[in-house]
């Protein structure tokens, strides 16, 4: 797979408005975008730090993936996203290596990226996202 870098770290929060001041005033980062992703039942807030982003995730539906996560585990790191090239091929190879895919094919994620998730049961407890910039 050989990811080029960590594209972002997804952090589940109860309220992005409540969390943004910590990232801006304490860490000194700037929130450059707030975007709702209805298919994922989340609102997101993004910060850049080098090549990597922090993605805050606020649930818009208690039955969505982030709503269920917060209910079960509370706020905290939700997923790690790696930047890859050739996402469909990477997914096929990853499945051949015995890793359980949540998405067999890429779908659209925040910021227009093509994304796919690997199941945390197959990745030592870390929900893993693979992302590719659309060509
Ligand atoms: N990290 C680690 N483990 C997680 C997890 C996470 N983020 N979310 C769930 N789990 C664990 C659960 O704790 C549970 O473990 P146990 O069986 O030991 O209790 C197991 O995975 C299954 O959890 P579940 O509640 O039965 O299953 P869910 O219906 O919650 O589905 C998952 C879990 C990962 C398949 C689902 O959340 C998913 O498809 N996620 C991918 C999409 C997503 O997360 N979107 C939000 C972000 C979107 C964005 O970045 O824009």
**Quick one: tokens of 124?**
């030592």
Long-range CB pairs of 58-62 (<8 Å, 24+ gap) are 58/13, 58/14, 58/15, 58/16, 59/12, 60/36
Q: Look at ligand 1, atom 36, and give the residue with the nearest C-alpha.
A: 65
In 3D space, the residue among 66, 58, 55 whose CA is nearest the CA of residue 23 turns out to be 55
> What digits encode the pLDDT tens for the residues 99-110?
999 999 999 998
- Check: CB of residue 50 under 8 Å from CB of residue 97: no
Cα angle vertex 113, ends 110, 114, to 5°? 120
**Quick one: tokens of 129?**
């996202």
Q: Kindly report the pTM of this predicted structure.
A: 0.97
For residue 122, report the distance from its CA to the centre of ligand 1, in Å.
12
> What digits encode the pLDDT tens for the residues 24-55?
999 999 999 999 999 899 999 999 999 999 99
pLDDT given at position 106: 97
For residue 85, report the distance from its CA to the centre of ligand 1, in Å.
25
Is 13 near ligand 1, meaning CB less than 6 Å away? no
For residue 28, report the distance from its CA to the centre of ligand 1, in Å.
30
- Check: CB of residue 128 under 8 Å from CB of residue 79: yes
Average pLDDT of the segment spanning 79-89? 98
For residue 18, report the distance from its CA to the centre of ligand 1, in Å.
23
- Residue identified by tokens 């049961």 is 121
């Amino acid at each position: 797979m050989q990811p080029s870098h960590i594209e972002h770290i997804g952090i589940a929060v109860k309220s992005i408005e409540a969390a943004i001041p910590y990232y801006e005033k304490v860490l000194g980062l700037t929130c450059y975008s707030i975007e709702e992703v209805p298919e994922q039942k989340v609102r997101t807030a993004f910060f850049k730090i080098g090549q990597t982003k922090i993605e805050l995730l606020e649930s818009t539906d208690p039955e969505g993936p982030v709503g269920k996560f917060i209910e079960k585990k509370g706020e905290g790191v939700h997923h790690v996203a790696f930047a890859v090239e050739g996402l469909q091929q990477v997914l096929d190879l990853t499945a051949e290596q015995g890793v359980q895919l949540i998405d067999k094919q890429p779908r659209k994620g925040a910021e227009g990226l093509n994304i796919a998730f690997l199941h945390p049961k197959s990745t030592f407890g870390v929900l893993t996202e693979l992302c590719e910039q659309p060509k």
